[in-house]
Amino acid sequence: MSRGRSLLRGTAAAAAVQFVPSVVALGQWTPLRALPGGWCTWRGPDAPRVALTFDDGPDPRTTPRVLDRLDGLGFVATFFVLGSRVRAHPELVDEIAGRGHEIAVHGDHHDHHLARSPRWVFHDLDAALDALAACGHRPRWYRPPYGQATAATVLAPRRRGLGLALWSAWGREWTATDAGTVAGRVTSQLRPGAIVLLHDSDEFSPPGSTGRVLGALEPIRAHLERLALAPVTLSELVPAA
Protein backbone atom coordinates (compact mmCIF):
# COMPACT_ATOMS: atom_id res chain seq x y z
CA MET A 1 0.00 0.00 0.00
CA SER A 2 2.86 2.37 0.89
CA ARG A 3 4.54 1.62 -2.41
CA GLY A 4 1.29 2.39 -4.24
CA ARG A 5 0.96 5.74 -2.51
CA SER A 6 4.56 6.60 -3.37
CA LEU A 7 3.96 5.72 -7.00
CA LEU A 8 0.82 7.87 -7.03
CA ARG A 9 2.68 10.81 -5.50
CA GLY A 10 5.48 10.38 -8.04
CA THR A 11 3.00 10.33 -10.91
CA ALA A 12 1.29 13.47 -9.59
CA ALA A 13 4.61 15.25 -9.25
CA ALA A 14 5.59 14.33 -12.80
CA ALA A 15 2.24 15.61 -14.07
CA ALA A 16 2.74 18.88 -12.20
CA VAL A 17 6.17 19.39 -13.72
CA GLN A 18 4.71 18.77 -17.16
CA PHE A 19 1.48 20.75 -16.97
CA VAL A 20 1.76 23.49 -14.36
CA PRO A 21 3.96 25.67 -16.62
CA SER A 22 1.02 25.89 -19.03
CA VAL A 23 -0.16 28.83 -16.91
CA VAL A 24 2.57 30.96 -18.50
CA ALA A 25 0.08 31.46 -21.34
CA LEU A 26 -1.78 33.76 -18.96
CA GLY A 27 0.95 36.32 -19.55
CA GLN A 28 -0.87 37.48 -22.64
CA TRP A 29 -3.62 38.86 -20.38
CA THR A 30 -1.32 40.58 -17.87
CA PRO A 31 1.14 43.51 -18.07
CA LEU A 32 3.99 40.96 -17.99
CA ARG A 33 6.44 41.42 -20.89
CA ALA A 34 8.67 38.38 -20.36
CA LEU A 35 9.66 35.85 -17.75
CA PRO A 36 12.96 36.59 -15.97
CA GLY A 37 15.86 35.13 -17.88
CA GLY A 38 13.99 35.34 -21.17
CA TRP A 39 12.18 32.02 -20.74
CA CYS A 40 9.06 33.34 -22.45
CA THR A 41 8.19 36.64 -24.15
CA TRP A 42 4.78 38.26 -24.64
CA ARG A 43 5.80 41.85 -25.39
CA GLY A 44 8.86 43.75 -26.49
CA PRO A 45 10.39 46.81 -24.84
CA ASP A 46 8.32 49.94 -24.30
CA ALA A 47 9.31 51.54 -27.61
CA PRO A 48 7.21 52.87 -30.57
CA ARG A 49 7.30 49.53 -32.37
CA VAL A 50 5.17 46.39 -32.65
CA ALA A 51 5.70 42.98 -34.22
CA LEU A 52 3.07 41.47 -36.51
CA THR A 53 3.30 37.68 -36.51
CA PHE A 54 1.54 35.06 -38.63
CA ASP A 55 1.10 31.39 -37.69
CA ASP A 56 0.30 28.09 -39.43
CA GLY A 57 1.80 28.54 -42.92
CA PRO A 58 3.22 28.42 -45.41
CA ASP A 59 0.02 27.86 -47.37
CA PRO A 60 0.04 28.19 -51.17
CA ARG A 61 -3.64 29.23 -51.12
CA THR A 62 -3.30 32.16 -48.75
CA THR A 63 0.31 33.00 -47.82
CA PRO A 64 1.07 34.72 -51.17
CA ARG A 65 -2.02 36.90 -50.70
CA VAL A 66 -0.85 37.89 -47.23
CA LEU A 67 2.62 38.68 -48.57
CA ASP A 68 1.16 40.86 -51.33
CA ARG A 69 -0.96 42.77 -48.83
CA LEU A 70 2.00 43.31 -46.50
CA ASP A 71 4.04 44.58 -49.45
CA GLY A 72 1.28 47.00 -50.37
CA LEU A 73 1.13 48.34 -46.81
CA GLY A 74 4.89 48.52 -46.39
CA PHE A 75 4.79 46.09 -43.46
CA VAL A 76 7.37 43.57 -42.36
CA ALA A 77 6.31 40.62 -40.22
CA THR A 78 7.43 37.37 -38.64
CA PHE A 79 6.03 34.07 -39.94
CA PHE A 80 5.87 31.11 -37.55
CA VAL A 81 5.91 28.20 -39.98
CA LEU A 82 5.15 24.50 -39.50
CA GLY A 83 7.88 22.05 -40.48
CA SER A 84 5.38 19.72 -42.18
CA ARG A 85 4.30 22.58 -44.43
CA VAL A 86 7.86 23.75 -45.00
CA ARG A 87 8.68 20.34 -46.47
CA ALA A 88 5.64 20.56 -48.73
CA HIS A 89 6.25 24.18 -49.85
CA PRO A 90 9.91 25.14 -49.37
CA GLU A 91 9.66 27.73 -52.14
CA LEU A 92 7.16 29.70 -50.07
CA VAL A 93 9.57 29.88 -47.14
CA ASP A 94 12.18 31.35 -49.47
CA GLU A 95 9.60 33.82 -50.79
CA ILE A 96 8.67 34.94 -47.28
CA ALA A 97 12.31 35.57 -46.42
CA GLY A 98 13.03 37.08 -49.84
CA ARG A 99 10.37 39.72 -49.27
CA GLY A 100 12.11 40.87 -46.11
CA HIS A 101 10.14 38.99 -43.47
CA GLU A 102 11.47 36.88 -40.60
CA ILE A 103 11.10 33.10 -40.46
CA ALA A 104 10.29 31.57 -37.07
CA VAL A 105 9.23 28.04 -36.12
CA HIS A 106 5.80 26.81 -35.01
CA GLY A 107 6.73 23.16 -34.53
CA ASP A 108 6.38 20.36 -37.04
CA HIS A 109 2.75 19.38 -36.44
CA HIS A 110 -0.06 21.57 -35.17
CA ASP A 111 -0.87 19.46 -32.11
CA HIS A 112 -1.79 20.31 -28.53
CA HIS A 113 1.28 20.05 -26.30
CA LEU A 114 -0.89 19.38 -23.26
CA ALA A 115 -1.81 16.04 -24.84
CA ARG A 116 1.76 15.12 -25.79
CA SER A 117 4.76 13.76 -23.93
CA PRO A 118 7.94 15.79 -23.34
CA ARG A 119 9.81 13.48 -25.74
CA TRP A 120 7.25 14.20 -28.47
CA VAL A 121 7.60 17.97 -27.97
CA PHE A 122 11.39 17.82 -28.33
CA HIS A 123 11.21 15.57 -31.40
CA ASP A 124 8.54 17.75 -33.00
CA LEU A 125 10.67 20.88 -32.65
CA ASP A 126 13.74 19.09 -33.97
CA ALA A 127 11.84 17.86 -37.02
CA ALA A 128 10.71 21.40 -37.80
CA LEU A 129 14.21 22.79 -37.37
CA ASP A 130 15.56 20.09 -39.70
CA ALA A 131 12.98 21.08 -42.34
CA LEU A 132 14.02 24.72 -42.12
CA ALA A 133 17.72 23.86 -42.13
CA ALA A 134 17.18 21.94 -45.38
CA CYS A 135 15.94 25.25 -46.86
CA GLY A 136 18.88 27.17 -45.44
CA HIS A 137 16.96 28.89 -42.64
CA ARG A 138 17.85 29.06 -38.95
CA PRO A 139 15.08 30.67 -36.87
CA ARG A 140 15.57 32.58 -33.65
CA TRP A 141 12.02 32.21 -32.28
CA TYR A 142 9.60 29.41 -31.44
CA ARG A 143 5.87 29.52 -30.72
CA PRO A 144 3.95 26.38 -29.78
CA PRO A 145 0.59 25.62 -31.42
CA TYR A 146 -2.35 27.15 -29.56
CA GLY A 147 0.12 28.98 -27.30
CA GLN A 148 0.17 25.97 -24.97
CA ALA A 149 3.33 25.80 -22.89
CA THR A 150 4.21 22.74 -20.85
CA ALA A 151 7.56 22.27 -19.15
CA ALA A 152 8.88 20.59 -22.30
CA THR A 153 7.59 23.46 -24.43
CA VAL A 154 9.65 25.89 -22.39
CA LEU A 155 12.76 23.72 -22.21
CA ALA A 156 12.93 22.50 -25.81
CA PRO A 157 13.55 25.88 -27.51
CA ARG A 158 15.88 26.94 -24.70
CA ARG A 159 18.07 23.91 -25.33
CA ARG A 160 18.05 24.63 -29.06
CA GLY A 161 19.06 28.25 -28.62
CA LEU A 162 15.64 29.68 -29.50
CA GLY A 163 13.47 32.28 -27.78
CA LEU A 164 9.90 31.31 -26.82
CA ALA A 165 7.41 33.95 -28.00
CA LEU A 166 3.68 34.14 -27.39
CA TRP A 167 1.65 37.34 -27.95
CA SER A 168 -0.10 40.28 -26.32
CA ALA A 169 -2.67 41.12 -29.04
CA TRP A 170 -4.61 38.85 -31.38
CA GLY A 171 -7.42 39.02 -33.88
CA ARG A 172 -9.06 35.64 -33.09
CA GLU A 173 -10.19 35.67 -36.70
CA TRP A 174 -11.54 32.12 -36.48
CA THR A 175 -14.37 33.42 -34.26
CA ALA A 176 -15.00 36.66 -36.17
CA THR A 177 -17.70 37.29 -38.75
CA ASP A 178 -15.96 40.15 -40.55
CA ALA A 179 -12.63 41.92 -40.94
CA GLY A 180 -13.75 44.88 -38.84
CA THR A 181 -14.12 42.65 -35.80
CA VAL A 182 -10.60 41.27 -36.30
CA ALA A 183 -9.17 44.77 -36.68
CA GLY A 184 -11.04 46.01 -33.60
CA ARG A 185 -9.72 43.19 -31.45
CA VAL A 186 -6.14 43.87 -32.51
CA THR A 187 -6.25 47.66 -32.27
CA SER A 188 -7.84 47.58 -28.81
CA GLN A 189 -4.73 45.75 -27.58
CA LEU A 190 -2.06 47.67 -29.46
CA ARG A 191 0.56 49.19 -27.20
CA PRO A 192 4.26 49.98 -27.63
CA GLY A 193 6.08 46.65 -27.78
CA ALA A 194 3.00 44.60 -28.68
CA ILE A 195 3.36 41.20 -30.35
CA VAL A 196 0.33 40.63 -32.58
CA LEU A 197 -0.94 37.15 -33.46
CA LEU A 198 -2.66 36.58 -36.82
CA HIS A 199 -2.71 33.64 -39.25
CA ASP A 200 -1.80 33.22 -42.92
CA SER A 201 -3.60 29.88 -43.38
CA ASP A 202 -7.11 28.49 -42.94
CA GLU A 203 -5.75 24.97 -42.44
CA PHE A 204 -6.66 24.92 -38.75
CA SER A 205 -9.39 27.60 -38.83
CA PRO A 206 -12.80 27.95 -40.51
CA PRO A 207 -12.66 28.85 -44.22
CA GLY A 208 -12.40 32.58 -44.77
CA SER A 209 -10.42 33.31 -41.61
CA THR A 210 -7.37 34.51 -43.52
CA GLY A 211 -9.60 36.61 -45.75
CA ARG A 212 -10.76 38.47 -42.65
CA VAL A 213 -7.11 39.01 -41.69
CA LEU A 214 -6.43 40.49 -45.12
CA GLY A 215 -9.33 42.89 -44.69
CA ALA A 216 -8.17 43.87 -41.20
CA LEU A 217 -4.65 44.89 -42.15
CA GLU A 218 -5.54 48.29 -43.64
CA PRO A 219 -7.44 49.51 -40.54
CA ILE A 220 -4.65 48.11 -38.38
CA ARG A 221 -2.18 50.21 -40.37
CA ALA A 222 -4.32 53.32 -39.88
CA HIS A 223 -4.36 52.72 -36.13
CA LEU A 224 -0.62 52.14 -36.02
CA GLU A 225 -0.09 55.45 -37.81
CA ARG A 226 -2.32 57.27 -35.31
CA LEU A 227 -0.29 55.82 -32.45
CA ALA A 228 3.03 56.39 -34.27
CA LEU A 229 3.91 52.70 -33.95
CA ALA A 230 6.11 51.05 -36.58
CA PRO A 231 5.75 47.35 -37.50
CA VAL A 232 9.06 45.47 -37.28
CA THR A 233 10.15 41.85 -37.16
CA LEU A 234 10.12 40.06 -33.85
CA SER A 235 13.93 40.00 -33.69
CA GLU A 236 13.97 43.76 -34.30
CA LEU A 237 11.41 44.25 -31.54
CA VAL A 238 13.17 41.94 -29.08
CA PRO A 239 16.83 41.85 -30.15
CA ALA A 240 18.05 39.35 -27.54
CA ALA A 241 16.27 36.02 -27.94
126 has catalytic annotation: no
Is 55 an annotated catalytic residue?
Answer: yes
The catalytic position among 59, 199, 200, 202 is 199
- Give the whole-angstrom CA distance, residue 166 versus residue 151: 15
**Domain tally for the chain?**
1
pTM: 0.89
What are the tens digits of pLDDT across the range 131-154? 999 999 999 999 999 988 888 999
Q: Name the average pLDDT for the chain.
A: 89
Q: What is the pLDDT of residues 77-101, one digit of tens each?
A: 999 999 999 999 999 999 999 999 9
Q: Which helix (H) or strand (E) segment is 142 a member of?
A: strand 141-142
Domain with 67 in it: 2-237
Helices marked H in the chain: 2-19, 63-73, 83-88, 90-98, 118-134, 151-159, 179-187, 209-227, 234-237
Task: Pick the catalytic residue from 55, 56, 124, 202.
Answer: 55
Q: What is the CATH number of the domain that holds 233?
A: 3.20.20.370
pLDDT attached to residue 36 = 79
